[in-house]
Amino acid sequence: MPGRFGKSSAPLPAGRASERGRKGRKAPRGPSGPPFALPLLLLFLLLPPILFPPPARAQDPPAEPRVSDTPAGREFVHLSRMGTFSAGFVLESYGFIGCLADLLHHGVYEPETVRSMLGETKVFLEKSLANMRIYQDRTITVSPKDLQFINGISEITVYLIAEADSLASYSETFDMEDYRRYKDSREKAWSGIKEHLGIK
């Protein structure tokens, strides 16, 4: 009996159906490629590390104690930091006083402004000098090398204070004697900076 689409919908005989099924059925297939591809790949990846192991890593040496873990070390760190700060402070103070002299000379700052800023700079320089006296008076014992550096910074600071004083006087009097004192103090301060801070 014709089916809906013009083809017979009658069932095939059992024998023919079985024969057709046997002919049309395909054997199940596994993954494509040779059956030993995956094991060979794994062997290729795992064999080199086994045959050629990486060289043994040397053990790290035990960590040495930090310098700051001992009282002498803590004092060394303190002095090093203070030395760095002191060197930077005198160098910046030298440059700042010179800038004020230039600003006064070119009329950028009024004399009163220059004297006020020089007065503030002098206060900090005097406080720094007083703190260094503690080491110079042996209230706190330091090594001869450290004491030599402290004495050098103190000497520079004394010249910077004299430089600030003479420039403040010159800004008020415009007297050449004050100007000569300023120049002399500035030259001595710079000479000390080059000697003790290693600046050329």
Kindly tell me if the per-residue pLDDT of 5 is higher than 50: no
Kindly tell me if the per-residue pLDDT of 28 is higher than 90: no
Single out the residue of 195, 189, 200, 185 nearest to residue 92, CA to CA: 189
Mean pLDDT of 100-114: 97
* Domain 84-197 class in CATH: mainly alpha
Split at pLDDT 50, 70, 90, the class of 48 is low
Higher pLDDT, 77 or 195: 195
Higher pLDDT, 56 or 23: 56
C-alpha triplet 105, 99, 154: angle, nearest 5°:
125
Percent of the chain predicted with pLDDT > 90: 44
Q: What is the chain's mean pLDDT, rounded? A: 76
CA torsion, ordered 42, 44, 47, 53, to nearest 10 deg: -110
Question: Could you tell me the residue ranges of all domains in the chain?
Answer: 84-197
